[in-house]
Chains A and B, each alone.
Chain A
Amino acid sequence: MPAHRGVLSLAVLLASACAHAARTPLAPAAGATPGCLMVPGSATRPPVITAALTDSVDPTHAAVPRNDAERLVFRHLYETLVRFDCEGRAVPALAESWTSSEGGRRWAFTLRADAQFWDGAPVTARDVVVGKGGVGYTLTPIDARVVGVWLARGSDDVPAFLADPALAVTKPAPGGDWPIGTGRYWVTGANTTSQEIRALSSAGDTLVFRQAAASDPRDLLDAGVDLLVTRDRPVLDYAATQPAFAVVELPWDRIYVLATVERPTMRLDGLEQAVRSEARRPQGGSFWWEELQACGPPPVAVPPAASPGALPPPPPPRRIAYVRGDPTGRDLAARIAALGGGVAAGLAPADFAKSLRAGTGAGYVLALPRAVPEPCRAARDLLPPWPVSVAPLVETRARAVVRRAVSRWGMDGDGTVHLAPQ
């Protein structure tokens, strides 16, 4: 196939040349947006900064987070081409600049000159595009440092999906260790224990993520952590009494839904009273899971295989499942169980995912992101594989408890907290 590969390269170069001919340079936002700094902090970063984690972190999930703790950790380890700040503006990440052409249908992102993996290998455009892609766009390497993004429909703004963590650049590490990323901080299994994750930077500073799942997060605040992202009301109430901390609202980023085979007959309004975290009724008229027509027909449910000659399985119990350790999910499942006469069942994350795939429960309380960069991928990753009725329950948001005058913390457009550049 050398001839084909040559023709393809020529076509790419021609297209690139044409694109450059009509290129409209855009001015990326430089550094942190001042309005996205949560608390004014010291411009000089201390050598060790500590952040508390209220959920568990699984390295195998990298770089796509499943909870608030993974969002915080992965944000500092892995990079996408761009990010969006809290005001919705694209800011450089792995790409330092970008241009668009053909009415916003073709984009070219130039990689940062010093972009490299943790192991020192330079990041190439091929590293960015390999294995990546989605509905409505194509990623292609234009040259070693330029990544082309071709859209099915033109866009005046930088496409939001480019900040999708699923497009973060990683490569597998030997021995099943943390995937090797390109972020400012790096971490290995040697730096990871059940109590903390120590992320190191080439500049010599350390970001310590300390687990609070097994203890009272208030103890960590008293012990001197610099950041705690939580939805726990008593913790926030306690932090509000401490002058050393500032409590910052984060976006309404999570929506809880009830996933069932058939639309529930009970009234599901007023559930914000059922949860003890900050919650409100779902806002907005439509949700991303209602716009999946472009993703193709929904999958057909496959009932669990029964062995030949076996008795038919007993009717499934009216069990409303939630992820164990999620207090909001537990409260919602309990209220639904109280209304519908079933029982709430907390399942470990792996068991919950398995049960959700099999559809053995009467209903599932799912925590979904309020907005997703790519609905088709999100539906494939987050929703069950059977035809599902999704009923929105409540929206929630977290708050960041930030120690004042220690370091500067910024906030992305999706509510992800991160250390702001110095």
Chain B
Amino acid sequence: MMFRTRLLAGFGVVVLVPLAVFGLGIRREMSGRLAAEYERRVGALAGVIRADVTRQSDGIAARLAALKGALAADNRFRVAAVQGGDRAYVLDYAGDAMRLAGLDYLQVLDDEGRVLSSGHFRNEYDRPAPIPPLSGPALVRGRTAEGPFLALVRADSLRLPGRRFVLVGGTRVDSLFLARLAPDPELAVSVVLPSDSVTPDSTGQIVAEVTLPYVESAEVPHAEPARIVVTHSESLLAALRSSVNLWFAVAVLVTALVAVLIAGWLSTRISRPVTQMEHRAALGDLARQVTHDIKNGLAPLRHVFRHLTQVAQGEPEKLPGVFAERQGTVDSSLGYLETLATNYARLYPQANERPTDVNAVVREALRHSAGADHAELRTELPDGLPPVRADALALRRVIENLLGNALDSLEGRPGTVTVATERAGAVVRLSVGDTGRGMTKSEIDRAFDDFYTTKAGGTGLGLSIVRRLVLDAGGALRVESEPGKGSKFIVELPAA
């Protein structure tokens, strides 16, 4: 995971999570408080409606009582209703009385429940009419010539000689009536009748009810409960929730944007020193490798000059001959160093892979090796070995490194170092074995790590370089070792 990603993740945990918790908490708290307020308002309005219905019912009852008194005192009506005749007066009676009493619904019913006179629908005479309970207010379905309507009514009765009459009067329950009950536009009042197949959708709404008896028609004389339903739309609450969600999303986006900018700035400021450290470390590694390679190139020269010095001191007359003999070594080492310098000048040595005779490279390396007095160098270089496709210089560096390590592993004690080549199928196998101290399992595991060394003053880069060079050539490298008995490094290179 990139440093910047880790920084962003950490920023999200530290900032966004508390922000989310804060936003959700506000949303929940706001919803709860508003819902409670709505419930209080709906309940209060239901109480007001209950009181208003009672007040209207009492007013209707008072007007019916007055009408009842006037009707009982009306001799013309008495004669017409009880003895018959003056039919037009009876038919028009309820219409005139209804208008005078300020009612919307008035019927005078005979003892069979038939309309004797209807104020709101004059021509409904002789039709059966619904009779509400005499005990209190009720809703009834009234009719006019233009269609039905709902009315809040009271009923009263009077008795004229030998006959009983029922007065049913009330006010129209229409949209205007309901609007008067709910002055607050956020509150809605509706009437739900028992016969209504579709009830108001209470989903997402806060509801309270007032129940009244309802008489559908004369054919259904018993009253069933009707409900005046008060609802408070949660649209405002939903709008607030949406608003909170919107601003919360805006806050998250802004925070995320700020987090990205801050993380980018911080990662830049923090990662710059790390990169510099890495660069310095890489330069140190390169310097060690260069040092190591230069030492390998200088070692033969040091041996040649030490030899020449010994000859010049002890046998000066042989000096020209020895010089001539060792001049090739000097030239070879100088060439090696020049090639090395050229490669490093290009920062990355480009492999000059070509068919290479492994045995020739081994002999070249052995010739330049200083060897050791206590060590016996053995070679097993069979003829007819196929060439491998490799950079000869890189292969020589491999062999010199392995040879140097083998001699060093003898630690000054007498021993044998064996360099052998062989063909093993499609590969050419090169092995450098010694009879030195050998390596433990943990030492084998770390033997090819950078900077790992068991030698005092070692760079720990030799085997690391060997492994890289072998891998660059498409080969493989492994080691067989046993503590106290020696080690054997095996390089396998594909035949050309």
Q: Which of A's residues lie within 8 Å of B, judged by CB?
A: 273-274, 276, 330-331, 333-335, 337-338, 343-345
Please judge, given known A-B contacts A334-B145, A345-B146, whether A276 and B123 are in contact too, CB under 8 Å.
no
Q: How far is the CA of A273 from the CA of B147 in the complex (A)?
A: 21
Q: How far is the CA of A335 from the CA of B124 in the complex (A)?
A: 7
Among A331, A333, A345, point to the contact of B122 (Cβ < 8 A): A331
Q: How far is the CB of A166 from chain B (nearest CB, A)?
A: 34
* Cβ contacts B128-143/A at 8 Å (1 or 0 each): 0000000000000001
Chain A residues in 8 Å Cβ range of B478: none
Please judge, given known A-B contacts A273-B88, A276-B92, whether A343 and B123 are in contact too, CB under 8 Å.
no
Q: How far is the CA of A338 from the CA of B125 in the complex (A)?
A: 9
B45 interfacial contact with A, CB 8 Å: no
* Cβ contacts B262-289/A at 8 Å (1 or 0 each): 0000000000000000000000000000
Q: How far is the CA of A343 from the CA of B121 in the complex (A)?
A: 12
Beyond A273-B87, A274-B122, A343-B146, 8 additional contacts (C-beta under 8 Å) are: A273-B125, A276-B92, A330-B145, A331-B122, A338-B123, A338-B127, A338-B143, A344-B145
| Contact status A335-B123, CB under 8 Å | yes
Please judge, given known A-B contacts A273-B88, A273-B91, A276-B92, whether A343 and B124 are in contact too, CB under 8 Å.
no
Among B88, B92, B123, point to the contact of A334 (Cβ < 8 A): B123
Q: How far is the CA of A274 from the CA of B124 in the complex (A)?
A: 9
Q: Can you spell out 29 A-B residue pairs with CB atoms less than 8 angstroms apart?
A: A273-B87, A273-B88, A273-B91, A273-B125, A274-B122, A274-B123, A276-B88, A276-B92, A330-B145, A331-B122, A331-B123, A334-B121, A334-B122, A334-B144, A334-B145, A335-B123, A337-B123, A337-B145, A338-B121, A338-B123, A338-B124, A338-B127, A338-B143, A338-B145, A343-B145, A343-B146, A343-B147, A344-B146, A345-B146
Closest to A317 in B: B147
Q: How far is the CB of A313 from chain B (nearest CB, A)?
A: 21
Pick the 8 closest A-B CB pairs, nearest first.
Answer: A334-B145, A344-B145, A335-B123, A334-B123, A338-B124, A274-B123, A343-B147, A338-B123
Chain B residues in 8 Å Cβ range of A343: 145-147
Chain A residues in 8 Å Cβ range of B144: 334
Which of B87, B121, B125, B145 is the most central at the interface, judged by chain A CB atoms within 10 Å of its CB?
Answer: B145
Closest to A320 in B: B145
Q: How far is the CB of A290 from chain B (nearest CB, A)?
A: 27
Q: How far is the CA of A338 from the CA of B128 in the complex (A)?
A: 11
Chain A residues in 8 Å Cβ range of B124: 338
Q: How far is the CA of A337 from the CA of B144 in the complex (A)?
A: 9
Q: How far is the CB of B415 from chain A (nearest CB, A)?
A: 109
Q: How far is the CA of A338 from the CA of B142 in the complex (A)?
A: 12
Chain A residues in 8 Å Cβ range of B121: 334, 338
Chain A residues in 8 Å Cβ range of B88: 273, 276
Q: How far is the CB of A167 from chain B (nearest CB, A)?
A: 39
Q: How far is the CB of B148 from chain A (nearest CB, A)?
A: 9
Q: How far is the CA of A276 from the CA of B145 in the complex (A)?
A: 15
Q: How far is the CB of A150 from chain B (nearest CB, A)?
A: 50
Closest to B124 in A: A338
Q: How far is the CA of A344 from the CA of B148 in the complex (A)?
A: 11
Chain B residues in 8 Å Cβ range of A337: 123, 145
